Amino acid sequence: MTLIDSHAHLYFADFENDLPDVIDRAKSEGVNKIINIGIDLETSKKSIELAETYESIVASVGIHPNEASSLANDYIDELIAYIKHPRVVAIGEIGLDYFRDHTPREKQLQILYEQLDLALDLNMPIIVHNRNAWTDMLNVLEDTRYKNKLRGVMHCYSGDSIVARRILDLGLYISFTGVITFKNWKAVDVLRSVPIDRLLLETDCPFMAPVPFRGKRCEPVYVKLICEKIASVLDVPFETIAETTTKNSMHLFGF
């Protein structure tokens, strides 16, 4: 049995003392593939380095909306060079974050458009982050320039089932983190509204550790707990969720 953690940030200082153990622990529970996600140019480069070092890691590169305020205007050339690296499987995480609002909204939208254009030009899947910006996000993705032309995933999904329907109609996947194991998580209907052939698993580690590790450092092996939770909510066997989400990731990211 194989599990895929489709969203990890293993370059953070949280992992500097024991990364080889973290990766071995993941492997020992069947987590044989981890997509490590950049949030700016520096961490995108680090993600590629990790993917060159560890056989179970592949990289995604991109500029997160919260990291865009001081971005150099010529970032795009460097980003293109990263995207073309053979260990890079996606562009991300990219998106909109009106919750933190670290970057002016106009600038967030500008770099989102630029990176979506890259995804079209270079035929790459996207990994999308969205917080408190559903109206603008749907306006962008449903624009005729992009509508049904993009492949990708809406990560750490926080919307309702009506928005989920529109995301699915665009051909995108939806992924859930350890948040779904929290006591105060109430979106059972949202999870049930997503067909399992459109679901991906992710930890978003070191953040969002599932119960019983809530508040501690999260790591890829915990993707198993998220898989268990989904299996129990949907009342299907664990193996079905593991196999289907693994197949979905392989299909989307081409590995």
Binding site for Zn ion (CB under 5 A): 93, 129, 204
For Zn ion, the closer of residues 158 and 240 by Cβ is: 158
Among residues 129 and 224, whose Cβ is nearest to Zn ion? 129
* Amino acid residing at 183: K
Instruction: Calculate Rg over the CA atoms of the chain.
Output: 17
178 membership: H or E segment, kind and range: none
Tell me whether residue 64 or residue 224 sits nearer to Zn ion (CB atom). Answer: 64
Residue nearest to Zn ion (CB): 129
Residues in the chain: 255
Choice between 204 and 219, CB closer to Zn ion: 204
Of 33 and 129, nearer to Zn ion (C-beta) is: 129
Go through 122-151 and write b for each residue having 16 or more CB atoms within 10 A of its CB, e for each that does not: eebbbbbbbbebbebbbebbeeeebeeebb
Which C-beta is closer to Zn ion: that of 5 or that of 204?
204
Q: Give the span between the Cα atoms of 65 and 162, in whole angstroms.
A: 24
Task: Work out how close the CB of 189 gets to Zn ion at its nearest, in angstroms, rounded to a whole number.
Answer: 23
- Minimum CB–partner distance for residue 253 and Zn ion (Å): 16
Nearest distance from C-beta of residue 128 to Zn ion, angstroms: 8
Give Cα 143 to chain centroid, integer Å.
22
Query: In whole angstroms, how close is the CB of 54 to Zn ion at the nearest point?
Result: 18
67 versus 204: smaller Cβ distance to Zn ion: 204
CA distance 98 to 131: 6
Query: Minimum distance from CB of 35 to Zn ion (Å)?
Result: 10
Cβ burial of 189 (10 Å; 0-12, 13-18, 19+) is exposed
**CA-based nearest residue to 59, from 47, 71, 74:** 47
CB of 42 to Zn ion, least distance (A): 15
Contact 249, 243 (CB under 8 A): no
Cβ at position 9, least distance to Zn ion in Å: 6
Backbone angles phi, psi at 131, to 5 degrees: -135, 120
